[in-house]
Structure 1
């Protein structure tokens, strides 16, 4: 599972800080210890930091040393180790002979500006504290960044944590210029760095219980920022709204009807008819000028955090499914989306359940007994969740019980197929849906591959052997027939596998090539592709894995398997690319748009109000300057978005997130 963009940024553009003494920090994931960071000043005045964590066989391990000048700027830095995907990291920076220069495995450069702060691309989290302290010393509390950009810092309040002898005061700072939104960092009286988020926190050892307090304070600041954007950007028409002269796409029959008007009153569509048949005196009029009007898009695989909601709306995603989150903060965020105090789509909530053990996923709901299973399902059902998502460490014998309990509460069941269980067994036990297309391939490898909670099995074996199963293979045909018979839904997240099997770490994540140049500078670096290194002798298999998976997806579609698009990655923009992959697989673009609108609404039981532009439906629509039924890539050219009748200008959202304007020719 991916990390939310806000904290992925803090880690990926992290920077290390000199500490006056040695200390050890705990790296927490959803409140559970997952790693450590040590920071120690050396005899020569340099600082050495080492950090590592384990997230189901993924995770960084970086050892870095650095030296600072009197202004707190890096004058020398060296970091080595591996990143989250186990790819090697080797970064160097130094100032010499009046010039700053840097080099890593995938970038190099130099600058005459020796008064800028260098941001390593992969560094211990402590580096964020180094940047914060340097900014506090800098004139106007701002610094130029290397390789590019500028950072600013402002204080956001103080918090007393602990009690008795352990009581201390930490100051909250917010740094802008690193990503789409301000990044939080805390400094205590000793100058030590504390970092916190709903997913990941790095705090001094022994202070783990305080992380939740920091998150709560950060949430208040972030919520105020979101509320101000929502007030400024979301626009509710004063009366009726008419969209005229549109080419309206209907996913029911794939028709595109020109010269059409849509009358919206409040949050609902009142009428859809030829332009001449709709008269609405006094209504606000949007002249579509022949542009393409379609129902709002769906992303069926998200994990909301940070600015994901803003990215979704900017890209025309008006409905989404969250497939695992921290319920303490997630439920409040969905409530803000619904209330309009934060910009975001309609969210269909899925609660994640996993068993305990070494490979347990990032959830607070661990289940090892029947009674625990009953409690977990009831807890989610009582809070409006519509789906249960299982994970890889669930005991296979508990799956039928979980499915029965969920179905009795009117909930769907999906998930990662538990380890030691095949996809067919998972479906026969009651699952309605499979997350991630690797489980399609893993079923073809059963029973030779069983322990799928291990990265080497779950991903490595798929990359090595996908090419052994072309669409006409007997096992493929049998499995497709099985899925059709059981009406099993597939949530493929193919973009994720393109990134991991066919990505280039020197380049942006596939699908972001034309978008990433418009992102803030540090976001561009943070969103480089994360790919597995092919074992020696398996290079050709890795190259061929994605094309075969595309062919298998097309075979699944042709066989009648229901497919719903999702990303499990950067919100909004990668949903567009996911749709492009389906078209690359050979699926007709109009049918791909149906999957991302009506089919998604049908799967989630929401087609009574969503999925088509028709009278009585909710006014969730996207105006596109192009025709994605002819060229699916034109789904990116979003000009206007409506969610529940509220109007959003994507350009305005992107500007608020520090993005450069879109090239209108793209």
Structure 2
């Protein structure tokens, strides 16, 4: 997310920290039942050739109603049997897990899950989180992420290599390029495209170096965006965008593959007298967003266009909630503070206090109300309307901002906010699982629980279909059939988030 229409507009930007890692040696991750690497082994709680989860509640990710008293068999990293407990034969050599009063769900497929965070001291910049964020994502049950923009591309590449080689723990990673933006960019860590030809060459370069997707940003022109899309599509790769200079409708017509955030966060087509290829001022964006009703022909046309094109949109509610004034204390934020590095914790609390006092990040609002709360409410209503109209909504926490939204806990908060918006818990889980897999083009392998799918599974205590907060009661996260201890993963990064 980073800068946006109701974000802090007075930040001075400093150079980002490049956290490099040595290349991972060429090796293959241990298969289900094989001995894991010694660096991974402390977090593995279930590792057998065959695993049976008995008498468990099933939320399969499709949006269908939960099914009770199911048995699921995992072998070779795949789901090999699934059905009513009395109808599934349990192999005699299987490690058996009692699923009573527990629920299995697909691992989340996050579509906006960065490997960096915002740091506010001494000046605002972006810091890579190569140690804590992969562990936090997996601990929460997020087994696949798309990084959706990199501030440290070589670091992200090496993190992915190490996870794939079984040398560290973390989710499967769809690796996204550095941010591709235009000449008016002010973020020092981003790639300023010079023109359409430069855009094509840049896409070709990063595609040749192994990225899976491309992130375009606020100041890109239509010609540059068109070139990015054409070059990426020629290579079978996807493009997503956090837009401003180009409107949602313009980007859709050019063939973009996914829009990040939503119209009450980043779309500028409702701004009067918007100039082509130019990002309007924050004041103009906020005024247009506040004045545009969710129930309006403009919004109806936008939704209809997205539905017609089957164009996904990523929901990233947690990062925007973090900017809302007068947020009541909540358990989620307490858990976040417990994980933060002490210096990062102090900075986050200072910024949170400035928002509550009506002087966000030192801004003088000159008597104007801070619009974050009103715009978040409208965005939540829009996302429910979009989903009910048949729109392909996906989910990710966007752990950028000023550091108050973090990996893992942000994934949970995203689902809880969708439920606050009016989604049922099962619908919210569907958004975060199957819909994400569809958007990434991997729904033949992950995103739902069915025979033949990868054994990327989250086992939680309780019933999230009745109480969405039960998604936080994670016991075991299976990735490729290997079970990881959620509590140990969380404990391993306590006090380091925002630093490593």
Normalising by structure 1, we get a TM-score of 0.62
After superposition, the CA RMSD in angstroms is: 3.3
Question: Is contact 2:219–2:277 with CA below 8 Å preserved after alignment?
Answer: no
Q: Which residue of 2 aligns with 1:393?
A: 219
Q: Which residue of 1 aligns with 2:33?
A: none
Q: Which residue of 2 aligns with 1:370?
A: 196
Give the structure with the higher percent strand: 1
Q: Which residue of 1 aligns with 2:391?
A: 561
Q: Which residue of 1 aligns with 2:306?
A: 483
Paired residues for 1:207-356 under 5 Å = 215=20, 229-235=39-45, 237-276=47-86, 277-304=88-115, 305-306=129-130, 307-325=132-150, 326-355=152-181
Whole-angstrom CA distance in 2 between matches of 1:516 and 1:315? 13
Distance 1:436 1:361, change over 3 A: farther
Q: Which residue of 2 aligns with 1:100?
A: none
Stretches of structure 2 lacking an aligned partner (at least 5 in a row): 26-36, 116-128, 400-405, 496-500
Q: Please give the secondary structure, in 1, of the residue aligned with 2:167.
A: coil
Q: Deviations over 1:71-103 (max 9, x none)?
A: xxxxxxxxxxxxx9xxxxxxxxxxxxxxxxxxx
Whole-angstrom CA distance in 2 between matches of 1:382 and 1:503? 47
Q: Deviations over 1:248-303 (max 9, x none)?
A: 11222522111111111131111112223222102111111231110001221122
Q: Please give the secondary structure, in 2, of the residue aligned with 1:385.
A: coil
Q: Which residue of 2 aligns with 1:619?
A: 455
Question: Is contact 2:458–2:478 with CA below 8 Å preserved after alignment?
Answer: yes
Which structure has more relative contact order (CA 8 Å, sep 6+)? It is: 2
Q: Which residue of 1 aligns with 2:431?
A: 595
Match of 1:655 among 491, 495, 498: 491
Q: Which residue of 2 aligns with 1:64?
A: none
Instruction: Give the greater-gyration-radius structure (CA).
Output: 1
Distance 1:573 1:644, change over 3 A: same
Deviation at 1:638, TM superposition (A): 0.9
Whole-angstrom CA distance in 1 between matches of 2:181 and 2:337? 41
Q: Please give the secondary structure, in 2, of the residue aligned with 1:246.
A: strand
Q: Please give the secondary structure, in 1, of the residue aligned with 2:268.
A: helix
Q: Which residue of 2 aligns with 1:20?
A: none
Distance 1:465 1:626, change over 3 A: farther
Asked if residue 646 in structure 1 is aligned to residue 482 in structure 2, the reply is: yes
Distance 1:2 1:642, change over 3 A: farther
Q: Which residue of 1 aligns with 2:31?
A: none
Distance 1:410 1:572, change over 3 A: same
Asked if residue 515 in structure 1 is aligned to residue 335 in structure 2, the reply is: yes
Q: Which residue of 2 aligns with 1:635?
A: 471
Stretches of structure 1 lacking an aligned partner (at least 5 in a row): 4-54, 62-83, 85-198, 202-211, 221-226, 660-666
Whole-angstrom CA distance in 2 between matches of 1:303 and 1:625? 28
Deviation at 1:231, TM superposition (A): 3.0
Deviation at 1:439, TM superposition (A): 6.3
Q: Which residue of 2 aligns with 1:473?
A: 296
Whole-angstrom CA distance in 1 between matches of 2:247 and 2:494? 45
Q: Which residue of 1 aligns with 2:281?
A: 457
Paired residues, what number? 451
